[in-house]
Structure 1
Amino acid sequence: MIWIEFAILLVAILIGSRIKGVGLGVMGMIGMMIFTLGFHMQPADPPVEVLLIILCVVSTAAGLQAAGGMDYLVTVAEKILRRKPSQIIFLGPLATYSFTLFAGTSHINYSILPIIAEVATKSRIRPERPLSISVIASHLALTASPVSAATATMVLLMRDYAGLELIDVLKICIPATLVGIFAGMLSVLKMGKDLDKDPVFLEKMKDPAFAAQLDADTSGVKKELKPGAKLAVLLFGLGVLTIILIGSFPNLLPNFADVDGFQPNLVVGGDGRIRMAAMIQMVMLSVLACIIIFCKTSAMEVAKASLFSAGAQAAISVLGVVWMSATFMNTNEAVIERSMSVIVQDHPWMFAFALFFLCTLLFSQAATTRALMPLGISLGIAAPHLVAMFPAANGDFVLPGYPTLLAAIEFDRTGSTRVGKYLINHSFMLPGLVSVSVAVATGFLLAAILL
């Protein structure tokens, strides 16, 4: 029976990934209907905390976008990238990593990817090289960002399991992912043919219009910043710092354990402490309120921002696919634990493959963390090892359907960034595998020293 249920799970995910957008979410709900009504499986709890974090963080990032803060950040990044065009393979990934680390969502990088492609092309550096590792860097940053839904979920689980706090996760994952990204940079230095030897590019250059457009100077095109752009960035940054401070020193918050009639709930844990997820929601929406008030940004502008739409799609997708996956896991927990326990007890690092594989299907670091990390806890894997393996929840590049991958392919006018004949032999596979592998290995080393 478990194999039939697993097949239904896979089919729902695969069809949903082909539909794209909210496809994963709606197909996940069909899977839930089949599990609940057809197989009489008890529904698991929906991933409410993850959904609320995604909505709050992305809504605040949309406020940053509406206030012009995104344009300001892109302007600063563009100046740095154009100043050292020969170093675009190194500077591009650092830019996308920093953006995602700061904002907690990889969707913030749609404005910087075309700049990376243009700078590389004008320098006659194969755009596939910086674009591929830049996309991977933006994904890895989600497992190191203090305001991402994935990190918040991880901190919540590790706090309840082993008393680890946000700072414990960040001091492992930030350096580990940076080392992994640097290894990914090295892996793409010689990727593909140089542009002057690429037959596809040389054929395109025979078109005078294409050649003229490719070399047109756009560096002087300035987009006028809104008056509150810099203030919006400052407010957002203060919000991120507040979350780091609260997560690192939870004793700063009130404890409700001694209050008469105390009962734990979605916001306050059994120990009387406010959950990290709830604090992220409070701080982020407070920041959004400040951006609207002090940066003179209307709520309608926030709702119309592209990031707001992306966040809504992500929330629907996570709701459906995580709810379905959690229901499958809970129903078959005994069988799954029994089959994995022998392998994991002797080789705990093998659990990283499970994280990577599930993220390949779910297209979400947060969804993967919420669905699978509880299993790692129930298997008795040590908390430091689980933190070390956290960057393995970055398999969403394997199937080239994630929006940032598709955007990078679209922005590369030379055609060097592409999906291969066999689907998985695409531009992002090599830097992705190298970066994730090195990040996990570095995580184990750092966890052994620091935790």
Structure 2
Amino acid sequence: MDTVRFIVELFVVLGAIVMGTRSSGVGLGLWGGAGVAVLVFVLGLPVGSPPVDALLIVMAVIVASATMQVAGGIDWMVSIAAKLIATNPKRITFVAPLVSFLFAVGAGTSNILYPLLPVISDLSYRNGVRPSRPLSLSVVATGVALACSPVSAAMAAMVTLTAVGPYNFELIDIIKVTFPAALIGIIAAAFVVNKLGKEIEEDPEIQAKIAAGVIAAPDAAGSAAEVQVTVTKEGRNAALIFFLGVAAIVVFGLWKGIRPLDASGNPMAMTPMIEVIMLLVGTLILLICKPKISEVPSTSVFKAGMVSAIALFGLAWLTDTFLSAHTEQIATGVGALVQQAPWIFALGVFLVCVLTTSQSTATRTVVPIGLAAGMAPALLTGMWAGAFAGIYLLPTNGSQIAAANFDASGSTKLGTKLYDHSFFVPTIVLAVCTLIPGAILGAILS
């Protein structure tokens, strides 16, 4: 009877996730809440704990990031990133993904990539590099970047799970694993991606467009596209204040001794530390750069962030309600399986990323299972980072669609069979190339 009940409850959880995935966006949160209602009111489970700490971090980061965007900080960051990419156009398949990754880490969002896409496409084509190569890997690289960013929603979800209880695995411990693993993964993946597809001079579709005068030949393509952003002193200052805040979070994470003390006389935990610093960052931007605060709720960063927060709220509450009621069964049953084959955990994160296109949702859904199963936090973290590439396995993400639209040569394709698009192979390759070094680093640090 207990087994049947467990299966029914599991199907409720999976059904809510599937229905939320079909609705996408805010629908993920709504269906998560509906699943909680079924588990509690119909099946009689004790209600779990909503992810309050993670939500507070996300909200603090969203407000600071959106305030920076209104002040022009995102535009300034994009202009700097474009200049870095243009420094070595012949190696753009290596340079563009690394620059995109680093700026996504700093900003805590992959949205920073959008204005860079036409620059990457134009520079690669003019220099005889098939645009699909740097475009595809740059898009996927911003996915794993969120596992390395102190201010991403996914990191907020992860920190609230691993920094408490018996784990004591804090923000800086996570970054020590994920950041080098992601760098290794991107560089290794670039060698593979740099060989994908035909060269421009050998591609009949591109050559047909050149012959018809639809596009110019690479050596006659004219001047490079410029980033269409307005760069201001206020924007520069806002970005620098934001980066100083990110740096402060890292410093406090490294040295516990410099943190303020809490009521128990212990160093302040990183969860409230991140919240306080990000709210302070937003206030400093407001005072120094004087953005129109009324425009903050209408920014793309604010809207995307709040959608992620709502999705995180519903689904994390759903999984916590289910997992809290079955911790023992999961620890003994799933635990033995994961201990024998840890890659199953990585596959779980990867698949939830594919289905929900949300790293924070995948984190709150699968990571508690891995922890309950007894996986070492360091090993779990290394595999978690690589699995984040999964959000680009299907060609449904906005940045994938934008990349294909900006590629005038037509080399970047969305495909027709879900697996024949330009991002499929880079996603698999980057996931594997990040997951392996991440697992090795995690095993060493465990």
Q: Specify if TM > 0.5.
A: yes
1:263-274 equivalences in 2 (<5 Å): 272-274=266-268
In 1: Cα distance, 2:331 partner to 2:175 partner? 28
What is the CA distance between 1:273 and its match in structure 2?
4.5
Range moving further from structure 2, 190-199 or 81-90: 190-199
2:431 maps to 1:436: yes
Residue aligning to 1:57: 61
In 1: Cα distance, 2:295 partner to 2:223 partner? 31
2:291 maps to 1:297: yes
Residue aligning to 1:269: none
In 2: Cα distance, 1:3 partner to 1:114 partner? 49
In 2: Cα distance, 1:24 partner to 1:195 partner? 41
Change (3 A) 1:76 1:336: same
2:195 maps to 1:190: yes
2:147 maps to 1:167: no
Change (3 A) 1:14 1:126: farther
CA contact (8 A) 2:119 2:225 kept: no
1:305-344 equivalences in 2 (<5 Å): 305-344=299-338
What is the CA distance between 1:299 and its match in structure 2?
0.4
What SS does the aligned partner of 2:242 have? helix
Residue aligning to 2:440: 445
Change (3 A) 1:51 1:435: same
CA contact (8 A) 2:119 2:224 kept: no
Specify which of 363, 374, 381 is matched with residue 380 of structure 1: 374
In 1: Cα distance, 2:406 partner to 2:59 partner? 27
Specify which of 409, 412, 419 is matched with residue 414 of structure 1: 409
Specify which of 18, 29, 32 is matched with residue 33 of structure 2: 29
CA contact (8 A) 1:184 1:432 kept: no
Residue aligning to 1:236: 242
In 2: Cα distance, 1:99 partner to 1:238 partner? 14
1:42-441 equivalences in 2 (<5 Å): 42-160=46-164, 161-208=166-213, 210-211=215-216, 215=221, 217=223, 219=225, 223-258=229-264, 272-394=266-388, 395-441=390-436
What is the CA distance between 1:207 and its match in structure 2?
4.7
In 2: Cα distance, 1:366 partner to 1:417 partner? 28
In 2: Cα distance, 1:410 partner to 1:30 partner? 37
Residue deviations 1:68-118, cap 9 Å, x none? 222222222222222322111011101111111111111222222222122
What SS does the aligned partner of 2:421 have? coil
CA contact (8 A) 1:128 1:417 kept: yes
List alignment gaps of at least 5 residues for structure 1: 260-271
In 1: Cα distance, 2:400 partner to 2:94 partner? 18
Range moving further from structure 2, 333-342 or 104-113: 333-342
Change (3 A) 1:317 1:252: same
In 2: Cα distance, 1:291 partner to 1:318 partner? 27
What SS does the aligned partner of 2:197 have? coil
One-letter code aligned to 1:134: S
CA contact (8 A) 2:331 2:373 kept: yes
One-letter code aligned to 1:127: P
Aligned residues: 439
TM-score between both structures, scaled by the size of structure 1: 0.88
Change (3 A) 1:215 1:328: farther
RMSD (Å), alpha carbons: 2.7
Change (3 A) 1:14 1:346: closer
What is the CA distance between 1:287 and its match in structure 2?
0.7
One-letter code aligned to 1:249: W
What is the CA distance between 1:275 and its match in structure 2?
2.9
Change (3 A) 1:152 1:59: same
CA contact (8 A) 2:345 2:366 kept: no
CA contact (8 A) 2:82 2:227 kept: no
Change (3 A) 1:141 1:222: closer
What is the CA distance between 1:257 and its match in structure 2?
4.6
Q: Percent identity?
A: 36
One-letter code aligned to 1:396: I
CA contact (8 A) 1:68 1:225 kept: yes
Change (3 A) 1:406 1:339: farther
What is the CA distance between 1:130 and its match in structure 2?
0.7
What SS does the aligned partner of 2:391 have? coil
Range moving further from structure 2, 302-311 or 287-296: 302-311
In 2: Cα distance, 1:117 partner to 1:74 partner? 15
Change (3 A) 1:426 1:256: same
Change (3 A) 1:24 1:414: farther
Residue deviations 1:104-141, cap 9 Å, x none? 11122222222212212222322211111111111111
What is the CA distance between 1:450 and its match in structure 2?
4.3
CA contact (8 A) 1:359 1:396 kept: yes
In 2: Cα distance, 1:6 partner to 1:409 partner? 38
What SS does the aligned partner of 2:296 have? helix
